[in-house]
Amino acid sequence: MAYKFGADESVRHAIRRCGREQLDRAILELRDGIIADPVSAIHSARKAIKKERSLLRLARGAMPPEHRRRENAALREAARGLSSARDSDVMIASVDELSKRYAGQLPAADFEAIQSHLEARRSSAHGHRTESAGNEDALGELSAVRTRVDDWRLRIGGWESLESGLSRSYRRGRQAFTRAHDTREMEALHAWRKRVKDLWYHERLLASICGPTVRGHAKDLDRLSDLLGDDHDLAVLRQELAPGSAPIAADLDAVVHLIDYRRAELQTEAFHIGERLYAETPKAFRRRLRGSWKAGRALARAPRASDPVRLGAATR
């Protein structure tokens, strides 16, 4: 099933079901998918782990803190060993995007020299990762969490089990937005993106119940996450190309200036979207989502099939 709560599904059941599905996906990728395509498998596994950790944050009001921290620590440890070559992968993609977007602005040979350097680095990292064959430690951590999902203690259900986690996600995102806007620092922007992705995952889970307004908000969060992700990838590339950091036969100063130009474009759009997404106070956001949730659940419970007896009585 898709990563969303069913309109007629109990919250407790939905939390456990989504937990099982994401863990099963990550385990399958690391056990079987990695044989055919290690890069794609690890990317998919990391994505599933992020969704699982976000689910735990949403359900923080229902789970005993010590249980949630235990599962989160296991998931964090599993993810830690799965990103050894990610920087090289994303930097190569960033260089490719720059070369296409700004074709003719710089000699193609500059981009080609950078690509060659990064591909050599990636080959080394991928070779090391293949030897670990899916990381048995990560599989062990994920499998252990998977065996406990059905026994997760969810003390409360319904909206009350989600409200504190959702409110915290919005509040932290709003605070991170302010810090990123004020400082424009790489770390602050990256921290903001993490909070954006959390709220995006949370609203994806709830949109089928809460309706089109939340669905539209989630779509904007998705766009914002992409913008901040592209900005972070370019920031990582910029660090790699800093003077004296790598022996590359290219005009690195010119490429760095191009990176700064593109990052300014991305950040401008990101902050405009952020202003809109975080315009509400946390209290107003919580009130709106609560109302949308209750209306959506009531609609799901309303009779959908026609009632011939009542129709006949009404037309007499």
Asked if residue 122 lies in contact with residue 271, where contact means CB atoms within 8 angstroms, the answer is: no
Question: Phi and psi at residue 102, in whole multiples of 5°?
Answer: -115, 40
| Predicted local distance difference test score (pLDDT) of residue 288 | 97
pLDDT digits (tens, 9 = 90+) for 129-184: 444 644 788 999 999 999 999 999 999 999 999 999 999 999 999 999 999 999 99
Tracing tokens 């969060």 back to the chain, one arrives at: 221
Q: What is the spatial distance between Cα 152 and Cα 135, in angstroms, rounded to a whole number?
A: 26
According to the 3-state scheme, what is the secondary structure of 178-205?
HHHHHHCCHHHHHHHHHHHHHHHHHHHH
Residues 6+ apart with CB under 8 A from 148: 71
pLDDT at res. 253: 93
Tracing tokens 């498998």 back to the chain, one arrives at 41
Sign of CA dihedral 130, 133, 137, 143: positive
Residue-wise pLDDT tens digits, 54-63: 999 999 999 9
**pLDDT at res. 131:** 43
104-113, 146-155, 211-220, 240-249: which has the minimum mean pLDDT? 240-249
Do 92 and 116 contact (CB within 8 A), yes or no? no
Angstrom distances, CA of residue 110 to CA of 91, 92, 123, 138: 15, 13, 20, 39
What domains are defined for the chain? 1-82+134-155 (1.20.120), 85-128+159-299 (no CATH)
The residue assigned the tokens 């709003």 is 174
Distance CA 165, CA 57 (A): 6
**pTM higher than 0.85:** yes
pLDDT-derived band at 252, boundaries 50, 70, 90: very high
Does the pLDDT of residue 14 top 70, yes or no?
yes
User: What pLDDT shows up at residue 137?
Assistant: 86
Q: Is the pLDDT of residue 128 over 80?
A: no
Is the dihedral angle over the CA atoms 117, 119, 123, 125 positive or is it negative? positive
Does the pLDDT at position 114 exceed 90? yes
CA neighbor of 262 nearest in space, from 231, 297, 221: 231
